[in-house]
Amino acid sequence: MAREKSEADVLELLQGEAAGLELGAIIERLGLEDEVSSRTVRNMLNGLVDEGVLVRQKQRTGSPGKPPYIYILPAFVPQQLRLFGDAKLDVLTITEANLEELDYQERDRIERGLSALETIARGHIQEDRFAKAIIRIAPQVATENPVELLTRMAGWVVEDINRTASELTRLRNARASAHEIDNLAGRINVRLQMARQYFHNLWCLDKDGRDEPIMDLPTSADEILRYGRTASINVDLALERLRSRVAGETVIYEWQPGDNIPTSAVGTDASVADVYLQHATGKFMRPDPVAVMIAAAAQITRENGSIIGEFQDFDVFPDDLKEYEEHTAARNGLIISPAMREILPESDFKHSRLAAMELRQYVEDLRIVLGQARWRPIGELQNLNVSPHKASLIIRDGRVFPLVHRLNDYEDGGLYGQIVRNQIKRFASVIHHTMSGPEGDIVYGAAVKDPQQSWIAPLVFWYAYINQGEEDTILSREDIYKYPFTDTAVSHLLFLGIANGLTEFPQNRLLVTFRAKRRFSDIAITADETPKIEVNGSFRHVDVDDENDWKLFIKQRIAEANRRGRKNVLPDERDYNYFTYLCSRVGVSMFYAAPESAYELLVQDNSEGAGHFLLCRLEVSVKVGDEDHEVRSMEGMLAWLASGGWEFDHAHNPTGFDTGQGGGIPILVPDVVVPSHETVTFARDQVGEEVEDALRQLITELRKRV
């Protein structure tokens, strides 16, 4: 195993895994099972942890037994545990550690434990200062143009990487200690990783359609030392690309609705009921888990700011399950049985559960759009004449795009691929009917309570750093690359900084951030694969707006796979039609928003801790290239919030805010998200019990026949 290549492969793999991966998953995904021992890979990963390139942390699974370690890129780690409150630390003792994982670097870290605790304590104090710094610069950054600001930041990052690279080369030439060189190399790798994730993967400043680099970055500190590589940026191309990816003239602005305010909105959610069947004999045998996927919806009807009706809908009932055989039930995302674990690789089994659950939610979304929901009133109707409305606004609990979305997952030839293709097909159908249906445009959006990617926080921390006085040392350069808070907290702090200057707090006036626009094609292809097609003997990039280009890409992909004898593609190019439709036509617009009235008590009480909350990321699906549709969809979502359609969700704690004591910071969400979650939780428990009863009855009957 060439160490440099393997390290690069690991970093590339983890770029697409915001939640991180366990050691076994990394070995499996990179195909290293037959090349090296797991201990060798573990030592390499721990070396990257020591260099600051990776972070190793315990994964909270919610299952009994010791939680496994995951390896995750620093850019994906939200470090906001102590914001607005006291820290509660998870203490790991020597006796809890797996002895097999104790190498000399870990023992050295244990010996330095006192300084590590001191670092944590200092960080706790520093985070309060960070929060105040963001509040202080909010009025200033709010008026900046986001495209120009992002371009300036990209140029600054290029200069900072080159400056640090020059220092690294100087240390090498001066024969500095290996520890000093390795330490600086680790800091450079963190910079490069964040720059790739933020500017390449999110804002697409990697290459233009002619392969000309927009923001060119070395792959690693090692490449800088070996070949003298430097970073560079084409400012004109960067401005052009960002204008297609950013909407909004200022970083933050005030917004009020016009006359067209939705009178009703629908929220949807999905969950999984794990039914465990104990064996009658041999209690040492593990129980068989049966996963039952449930989706549900809730509708709120409002008149003059007051709720006059609430309704709910479920998408599956146990009686219906009797009509499906096992494979069909799994393919349709209804049930994944223990037998599926035996025929699916472990990673595919886990992703199958996720894809199946999302499939059920997209099915529920489609039922709403097509008017097929079976609505039931929640509680007592205040007005008996109120009936469910046709949907004009749908808000998903969770993001708009599927979490399982890669082309290679779509092409999988087994059961896993069938589930993924069904999921993509239902998602594309929802998009088609909400954007082009006979009922007119339906706003199809989402509320993401715990987003894994931040696009405001890095910009704000950079802005706060370059605008602090010479005597002010609250922020360092490192804080830009390891930003301590994620967007859910940073957007709240920015809005609070604006609200501090208000004298009135009307409910129908919102604070809104600029929007980040992403395409489905951004996430459809892995980072190491650039979609190209051959035309008249020469290769060129796929025109991402041209569906025919995408179809030609698929046609040539199938032909190349057949030529090489590969079986990892679908046989007919028409099998890809839903996928190419999404790649060429569909995107999302993402933003943060909150009513000014939500900040009135915070401002008037000048609260230092109590009363704070987090913001969910709001998304709306958009027609790629149709700016009017993007604005209409965004304003449809905002109009509902401005009419009183928001609520504090106390049931969820985003990553980094769970105190472990049942407390936490509430999240401001569209109000329909709360009853949709309550409905799916009720349905999950109810259906789970009924499925368990039905299974036990069948088991009893079958045993009588044996």
pLDDT recorded at residue 255? 96
* Nearest-5° Cα angle at 401, 407 to 622: 115
Neighbours of 44 (CB within 10 A): 18
CB 512 within 8 A of CB 252: yes
In this structure, of 67-71, 147-151, 273-277, 462-466, the range with the lowest mean pLDDT score is: 273-277
Q: Which tens digit of pLDDT belongs to each residue from 347-372?
A: 667 778 888 889 999 999 999 999 89
pLDDT at 94 over 50: no
- pLDDT for position 76: 63
H or E element in which residue 465 lies: helix 457-466
| pLDDT value for 346 | 59
Residue 277 has a pLDDT of: 60
**Residue 97 pLDDT level (bands cut at 50, 70, 90):** very low
pLDDT tens string 126-175: 777 888 899 999 999 999 999 999 999 999 999 999 999 999 999 888 88
Stronger pLDDT, 3 or 688, i.e. the higher one: 688
Question: Is the overall model pTM greater than 0.95, yes or no?
Answer: no
Whether 603 has a pLDDT exceeding 50, the answer reads: yes
Q: SS3 string of 196-260?
A: HHHHHHHCCCCECCCCCECEECCCCHHHHHHHCCCCEECHHHHHHHHHHHEEEEEEEEEECCCCC
Say if CB 7 and CB 30 are below 8 A apart: no
Sequence letter at residue 675: P
pLDDT of residue 81: 38
Confidence of residue 526 (pLDDT cuts 50, 70, 90): confident
Q: Which of the four pLDDT bands, split at 50, 70 and 90, describes residue 274?
A: confident
Binning pLDDT at 50, 70 and 90, where does residue 99 land? very low
Please give the C-alpha separations between residue 656 and each of 82, 89, 485, 652, 675, in angstroms, as whole numbers: 8, 11, 9, 12, 25
pLDDT-wise least confident of 325-339, 391-405, 414-428: 325-339
Single-letter amino acid, residue 184: L
Examine the pLDDT at 103 and tell me if it is beyond 80.
no
Query: Would you state the pLDDT for residue 118?
Result: 53
Give yes or no for residue 706 having a pLDDT over 60. Answer: no
pLDDT tens, 630-660? 999 999 999 999 999 999 998 766 655 554 4
Q: What is the mean pLDDT of residues 553-561?
A: 92
Give the tokens for residue 56: 């190793």
Q: How far apart are the C-alpha atoms of 128 and 107, rounded to whole Å?
A: 32
**Where is pLDDT greater, at 300 or 439?**
300
pLDDT at 93: 34
Greater confidence, 226 or 101? 226
Structure tokens at 76: 């994906």
Measure the CA dihedral 227/483/151/139, to 10°: -160
Distance of CA 622 to the CA centre of its chain: 18
Q: CB neighbours of 56 closer than 8 A, spacing ≥ 6?
A: 45, 46, 49, 69, 70, 71, 72
Q: Does residue 480 have a pLDDT over 70?
A: yes
444: which residues sit within 8 A by CB, 6+ positions away? 365, 394, 396, 400, 430, 431, 434, 435, 620, 621, 633
pLDDT digit string, tens, across residues 18-76 = 668 888 888 877 777 666 777 788 878 887 877 667 888 766 544 444 567 788 877 66
User: Beta strand pairing status for 667-670 and 614-615?
Assistant: parallel
Closest CA to 387 of 396, 374, 400: 374
3-state secondary structure 253-295: EEECCCCCCCCEEEEEEEEEEEEEECCCCCCCCCCEEEEEEEE
**SS3 (DSSP) at 568:** coil
Contact between 520 and 278 (Cβ < 8 Å): no
Q: Which helix (H) or strand (E) holds 414?
A: none
Could you give the CA distance from residue 324 to residue 331 in angstroms, rounded to a whole number? 10
Check residue 110 and give its pLDDT: 40
Token code pair at residue 556: 């040539």
Q: How many CB atoms lie within 10 A of CB 696?
A: 13
AA letter at 524: A
Residue type, 390: K
pLDDT at 307: 81
> pLDDT per residue over 223-254, tens digit each?
999 898 999 999 999 999 999 999 999 999 99
Contact residues for 68 (Cβ-Cβ < 8 A; gap 6+): 22, 23, 58, 59, 61
Give the residue-averaged pLDDT of 266-286: 70
Read off the pLDDT of each residue in 70-89 and give the average, rounded to a whole number: 55
